[in-house]
């Protein structure tokens, strides 16, 4: 096992305690986290250390125990806990979920499920404690609606690629800045608040959880019910003076939730889809027009009040002016 002096340990400027006494370590760690069982189960030297930097909605922590240890907090209750091993690893049981965490695979512990862990001898970890209410509130903000079930993570978070690697890099950058005497993550600071928001977003985007498909849907993922209901409303009301709020009300969600759903599952917005539906109706009517038909009359009928913008949008979609489409039907309208 590699020995690390107190000065070499991450967040060394923010030491809460160092101890070789098991009972003291259990009691001191519980002050920041929660009461828990802590037992030495290996032959290594027990050498506990906890360094801690507090923020508004999360905190950075460094913990080591030296020896192989059993840690059983049960339900964390008030906080989610992201564990990023720097060396060694840990066997994680969180509810029915079981996996092994190492420097490439972070653990994310759910507060509403019982937790038991075995940290290997020499395991050293950076831990990010997220206030449960804060992470849930941030999820609700991203969804644009209140989540109806607890946010529940499953399995480890990959730290080697993509968002997981970026999130780990940001966390370790904050650790390095604190070690250099620049504590960016401090309560009340505007920059600190923004950085916390980025980390909250990062763990939600990187982790596998029960709301991931709404935040990171695949192209093959089925659109949620509120998106389908909005599309039905759009198809039924293209001629009416419809607003975003009208569509959201018909879908039973907030405007923000509706916009997020359309962006993720349709790669467009509700109002853009309404315009597309209106253009389709105009196109069909122009092709079926009788002699003497008017582009102006058809466009107005389907909700286009600004004929110049309508003409540009129509030409972009169909490759010709609306008057050209009308001429290819049966009548002649205005000249674009």
Q: Tell me, letter by letter, the H, E, C secondary structure of 187-206.
A: CCCHHHHHHHHHHHHHHHHH
**Cβ-contact 33, 76 below 8 angstroms:** yes
How much is the pLDDT for 318? 83
CA 314 – CA 298 distance, rounded (Å): 12
Q: What is the DSSP string of 235-300?
A: HH-TTS---HHHHHHHHTS-HHHHHHHHHHHHSS-HHHHHHHHHHHHHHHHHHTPPTT--HHHHHH
Full-prediction pTM beyond 0.85? no
Distances from the Cα of 161 to the Cα of 91, 105, 107, 125, 237, angstroms: 22, 11, 16, 19, 45
Looking at domain 6-215, its CATH superfamily turns out to be Jelly Rolls (2.60.120.10)
**Cβ-contact 130, 201 below 8 angstroms:** no
Q: What is the pLDDT along the chain (336 residues), one digit of tens a residue?
A: 445 567 689 999 999 999 999 999 999 999 999 999 999 998 789 999 999 999 999 999 999 999 999 999 999 999 999 999 999 999 999 999 999 999 999 999 999 999 999 999 999 999 999 999 999 999 988 887 788 889 999 999 999 988 999 999 999 999 999 999 988 887 778 899 999 999 999 999 999 999 888 787 654 467 888 999 999 999 999 999 999 999 999 999 999 889 888 888 888 899 999 999 999 999 988 888 777 788 999 999 999 989 999 999 998 888 888 988 888 765 433 334
Sequence ranges of the domains in the chain: 6-215, 219-336
**Cβ-contact 113, 75 below 8 angstroms:** yes
The long-range contacts involving 139-145, CB below 8 angstroms and separated by at least 24 positions, are 139/204, 139/211, 142/201, 142/204, 142/215, 142/260, 143/211, 143/214, 143/215, 143/257, 143/260, 144/253, 144/254, 144/255, 144/256, 144/257, 144/258, 144/259, 144/260, 145/253, 145/254, 145/256, 145/257
CA 261 – CA 249 distance, rounded (Å): 14
How much is the pLDDT for 332? 39
**Of the options 3.40.50.2300, 1.10.10.60, 1.10.8.60, 2.170.150.20, the CATH number for the domain spanning 219-336:** 1.10.10.60
CA 19 – CA 23 distance, rounded (Å): 9
How much is the pLDDT for 87? 96
Start-to-end C-alpha separation, the chain:
79
> Would you tell me the crossing angle of helices 307-318 and 270-287 to the nearest 10 degrees?
80
**Cβ-contact 174, 195 below 8 angstroms:** yes
Return all residues near 297 (Cβ < 8 A) that are at least 6 apart.
none
Which of 335, 318, 322, 336 is closest to 286 using CA atoms? Answer: 322
> What does residue 127 show for φ and ψ, rounded to 5 degrees?
-120, 135
């Amino acid at each position: 096992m590699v020995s690390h002096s107190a000065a070499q340990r991450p967040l060394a400027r923010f030491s809460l305690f160092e101890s070789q006494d098991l009972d003291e370590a259990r009691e001191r760690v519980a002050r920041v986290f929660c009461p828990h069982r802590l037992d030495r189960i290996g032959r290594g030297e027990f050498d506990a250390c906890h360094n801690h930097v507090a923020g508004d909605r999360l905190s950075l922590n460094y913990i080591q125990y030296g020896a192989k240890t059993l840690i059983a907090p049960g339900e964390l209750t008030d906080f989610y806990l992201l564990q990023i091993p720097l060396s060694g690893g840990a066997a994680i049981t969180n509810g029915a979920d079981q996996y092994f965490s190492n420097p490439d695979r972070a653990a994310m512990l759910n507060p509403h499920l019982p937790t038991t862990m075995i940290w290997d001898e020499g395991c050293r970890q950076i831990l990010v404690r997220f206030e449960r209410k804060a992470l849930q509130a941030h999820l609700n903000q991203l969804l644009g609606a209140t989540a109806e079930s607890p946010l529940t993570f499953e399995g480890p978070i990959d730290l080697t690629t993509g968002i997981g690697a970026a999130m780990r890099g940001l966390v370790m950058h904050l650790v390095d800045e604190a070690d250099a005497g620049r504590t960016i993550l401090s309560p009340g600071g505007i920059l600190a608040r923004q950085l916390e928001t980025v980390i909250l977003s990062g763990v939600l985007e990187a982790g596998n959880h029960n709301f991931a498909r709404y935040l990171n849907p695949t192209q093959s993922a089925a659109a949620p019910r509120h998106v389908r209901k909005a599309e039905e409303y759009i198809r039924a009301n293209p001629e009416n003076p419809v607003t975003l709020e009208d569509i959201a009300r018909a879908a039973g969600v907030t405007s923000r939730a509706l916009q997020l759903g359309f962006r993720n599952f349709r790669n467009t917005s509700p109002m853009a889809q309404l315009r597309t539906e209106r253009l389709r109706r105009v196109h069909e009517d122009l092709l079926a027009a009788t002699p003497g038909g008017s582009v102006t009359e058809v466009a107005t009928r389907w909700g286009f009040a600004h004929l110049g913008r309508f003409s540009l949008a129509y030409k972009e979609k169909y490759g010709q002016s609306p008057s050209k489409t009308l001429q290819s039907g049966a009548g002649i309208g205005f000249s674009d």
